[in-house]
Amino acid sequence: MREKLASLLQLQTLDAKVRELDASAKALPARLDPLRRDLAKLSGMLEIERQKLSETAQWRKQQQEQMERENELLRSAKNKLSASKNSKEYTAASREVDHKRKSISDRETELKKVNEATASSQVALDARGKDVEALQAQLAADEQAMAAQVAELAANLEETKKERDAARLVVDAGLLKTYDTLTAKRGFAVASVVKGVCQGCHMGLPPQLNNILARMLSIETCPRCGRLVYRKELLEKKDEPSAEAPPADAAASE
């Protein structure tokens, strides 16, 4: 009976390790999700700022073209002023010259402000671009390192599955069926009993059942959770336990 219990516990240990390795392999790539989200957010902001700068550059080009046209009109107005034949023509040409000069001056002032803002934005854009490049490099390095970890986990998982499959062949067919049913239902099938308490559901066992477990002649189930139970301290003993029931006083103290 000791061997049957040992084979069950070995199988349960390997099953738990398979689940742990499988969960780790699936969860590992998600650890980089925060970095991926940061990179996506920063890249999006960078693209928006680039688009704004592009629109500003287009606007600045249009304003410069307009200034060139206004300078042409100013030169024309000056020519009219020079060619004035009377005070009326002079006054009209003078007003036109003043108007064009003011228009050009206002446009130059606006362009100066835009150029200063654009220069500042370009500095911030260059810095953000470097941040994006740094995050991209970090993500690439982390993904490479993680790929190695995932590969190692996959290899360990495959090896553990082989050990688990081999362990299943050792378990009695009837016990294996019960084990699989309990594992699917309870998460784990075999629970130790410590000081008369099932470690699966943490409920005390009936004294009679506890005495039966002490003989180690059969594998019993917990009446509350249904798990296969065993006396931990007896299984850990190196020598075979006695088939006889323990003395009454010993049973009462257990």
Instruction: Determine, yes or no, domain membership for 6.
Output: no
What pLDDT is attached to residue 224?
A: 95
Instruction: Determine, yes or no, domain membership for 167.
Output: no
Which helix (H) or strand (E) is 198 found in, with range? strand 197-198
Residues 151 and 59 reside in one and the same domain: yes
26/77 Cα distance (integer angstroms): 77
DSSP letter assigned to residue 204: B
CA-to-CA dists, residue 121 to 39, 57, 128, angstroms: 20, 12, 10
Residues 22 and 139 reside in one and the same domain: yes
- For the chain, 254 residues long, the average pLDDT of each consecutive 10-residue run is 91 96 90 90 90 88 87 88 86 88 88 87 88 92 91 94 96 93 95 95 95 92 95 71 36 30
| CB 140, CB 39: distance < 8 Å | no
Phi, psi of 185 (to 5 degrees): -90, -40
Structure tokens at 127: 């810095």
Residues 58 and 126 reside in one and the same domain: yes
DSSP, collapsed to helix, strand or coil, labels residue 221 as: strand
What pLDDT is attached to residue 118?
A: 87
What pLDDT is attached to residue 196?
A: 94
Residues 38 and 109 reside in one and the same domain: yes
How many independent structural domains does the chain possess? 2
233/237 Cα distance (integer angstroms): 7
What pLDDT is attached to residue 237?
A: 65
The residue range of the domain holding 212 is 173-253
Domain boundary among 123, 140, 161: 161
Residues 95 and 27 reside in one and the same domain: yes
The sign one gets for the Cα dihedral 84, 87, 92, 96 is positive
Residues 72 and 192 reside in one and the same domain: no
